Amino acid sequence: MNIFSLSSISVIVALVSCHDPQVFLSVEQADGVALSCTELQSRLPDRVFFQHSVEYDRQQNSYWLYEQAHDYQPRCRIAALDASDVSVFIETVKKFNASFAVRSGGHSFLPGASNIDDGITLDLSGLNKIELSEDKKALFLQPGATWLDVYRVLERHNLSAVGGRSGSVGVGGYVLGGGSSYHSNRYGWSCDSALVYEILLANGSIVMASAAEHPDLFWALKGGGNNFGIVTGVRMATFQQGVLYIVIRSFSQPLTVVNRIFPALEKFTHIGHHDPDSSVFLSFAYTAATSTISSTLVLVNAAAEKMSPSFKLFDGLQAVQESRLTANTSTLVLLADQTSDFQYRKLKFTLTFQPVGELMRRILKTFESLTGSIAFEDAAGVYLTFQPLTASHISHDDNALGLSTAGPLMLLSLEIYWTRHEQSEFFHRFAKEVHNTMKKEAEDTGSLHRFVYLNYAAEWQDPFIGYGLENLCRLKEIQDKYDPDGIFSILQQGGKKINACHIQCT
């Protein structure tokens, strides 16, 4: 069959999606945005908000990333309250070919992932129902719910779910990207706890995706991000949960601790699956104001055990400060929210490698020398975090992440916070240089893993290639089936795209 005998629209779509995702607005399309806002206003009165209104500003100011709040000004914002609002929205943007963005908790680190300049933003923060099933074994969550709200509901029943470690993170983006949690060592990624997704597809239908219905889509939604439709609900497994035990240790002179802490972290990553209630992460913070690096080790035991075998691995390190507390999940995630800083411009990148202590030590050295080598005119700080991915965390094979046979891994993330727009280009270039240096160090020691965690990926990183070619091709095939015209890859400009154009899929 001749390729040109296919409908012209799908040919155009296929070609466009192979090129730079940057799309220039045509005049017709700019009009399409205005026409969509007007039509939506008549079909969903009270749900459409324009610039210079109090509600529009309130929604704009609730993004985690300063860039998303200030550099992107949609023509109108639609506050959906139920799934039928979402289907009216999709019908309208399709009709007028208008560009759009979808936002749940607004906590993406990617500029333009959940907001859009000159298009339309669908804001799902009011689509935030939380319903426990009668038998309490499952929970129905709408995507705009925050994890704090979820934990508050569950705690009354001594239950919890695999969710975010900061209360303000939204259910939607978090679970679609995987979702790493204090409970992941026992239960896996948050998406591994998903039982059913309710999703609005490009053809306007709302369908259920589960192991029984549309299983291909169900698989793709476990790591596939915003590429398949708009998720209007997710049913998740719950589990019994009481209070947690938390130890937070700070070290002012990281060099005196690295000799012991990295081997301990390496060891935990390898044997942590034997102690599935425990989780650990280690962060280094470069504070520009003082040009110093401090480090923080966080140990959490979900069974409130004070002497878990994992904690013992980290005994005897001289801390300058140590807090120990027993708390419920909502208290813990509120604590994490206190360090949230909405006024900063930020970026984040990630790398994944084998948990080799010596490599982490080298990476910390690189962090020290590169942060120390430049004048941080207005940076608040640079943060390097190591997060073990134990075998039990990543062994589930029915998600798209492509990690089930990888063995234990170490997830690295690096964040930079600054204030002035003029500095943005510099920090983005700097971050790339740091990334390339650290990546090369992992490569040179044969320890680099292809995985790039979607929820931590920078603008210039491609998480889907990191899932492995087989999974990338499978995602592409499922996308072609459920969104043949590219509504969610072309009209929805932001977020991570599945780009399989340069790959030979069979």
Ligand X SMILES: Cc1cc2nc3c(=O)[nH]c(=O)nc-3n(C[C@H](O)[C@H](O)[C@H](O)COP(=O)(O)OP(=O)(O)OC[C@H]3O[C@@H](n4cnc5c(N)ncnc54)[C@H](O)[C@@H]3O)c2cc1C
d(CA 93, CA 80): 14
Q: Which of 36, 114, 295, 330 binds ligand X (CB under 6 A)?
A: 114
Instruction: Please choose which of ligand NAG, ligand X, none residue 77 contacts, taking the beta carbon within 5 to 8 angstroms, the exact cut-off set by kind.
Output: none
Asked if 208 and 198 touch (Cβ cutoff 8 Å), the reply is yes
C-alpha distances out from residue 441 to 41, 436, 446, Å: 54, 9, 9
d(CA 389, CA 387): 6
Instruction: Please choose which of ligand NAG, ligand X, none residue 219 contacts, taking the beta carbon within 5 to 8 angstroms, the exact cut-off set by kind.
Output: none
321 binds ligand NAG (CB under 6 A): no
Q: Which of 6, 11, 15, 23 binds ligand NAG (CB under 6 A)?
A: 23
Near ligand X in 421-460, by CB under 6 A? 455
Q: Minimum CB separation from ligand X for residue 171, in Å?
A: 7
Nearer residue to ligand X within complex by CB, 233 or 357: 233
490 Cα distance to chain centroid: 21
Nearer residue to ligand X within complex by CB, 140 or 469: 140
Span from 51-59, 326-334, 369-377, 389-397 in contact with ligand NAG (CB under 6 A): 326-334
Span from 159-167, 206-214, 281-289, 377-385 in contact with ligand X (CB under 6 A): 159-167
Q: Which of 17, 108, 350, 447 binds ligand X (CB under 6 A)?
A: 108
Write the DSSP string, 252-277.
S-HHHHHHHHHHHHHHHHHHGGGSTT
Q: Please identify which residue in the block is written with the tokens 């804001």.
A: 123
Six token digits for residue 273 = 């699956």
> Beta partners for 279?
300
Instruction: Please choose which of ligand X, ligand NAG, none residue 205 contacts, taking the beta carbon within 5 to 8 angstroms, the exact cut-off set by kind.
Output: ligand NAG
Near ligand NAG in 178-197, by CB under 6 A? none
Q: Minimum CB separation from ligand NAG for residue 91, in Å?
A: 11
Q: Please identify which residue in the block is written with the tokens 């704090």.
A: 148
Angle at 216 between CA 214 and CA 218, to 5 degrees: 70
445 binds ligand NAG (CB under 6 A): no
Residue 490: CA count within 13 A, CB half-sphere: 25
Q: Please identify which residue in the block is written with the tokens 């943005």.
A: 424
Q: Which of 79, 88, 93, 176 binds ligand X (CB under 6 A)?
A: 176
Q: Which of 17, 99, 166, 489 binds ligand NAG (CB under 6 A)?
A: 99
d(CA 120, CA 109): 20
Radius of gyration of the chain (CA): 22
d(CA 501, CA 3): 16
Asked if 165 and 182 touch (Cβ cutoff 8 Å), the reply is yes
Contact set with ligand NAG (CB under 6 A): 16, 23, 28-29, 97, 99, 155-158, 201, 203-205, 207, 242, 328, 330-331, 490-491
Contact set with ligand X (CB under 6 A): 64, 102-109, 113-114, 124, 143, 164-166, 169-170, 172-174, 176-177, 179-180, 226, 230-231, 340, 455, 494-495
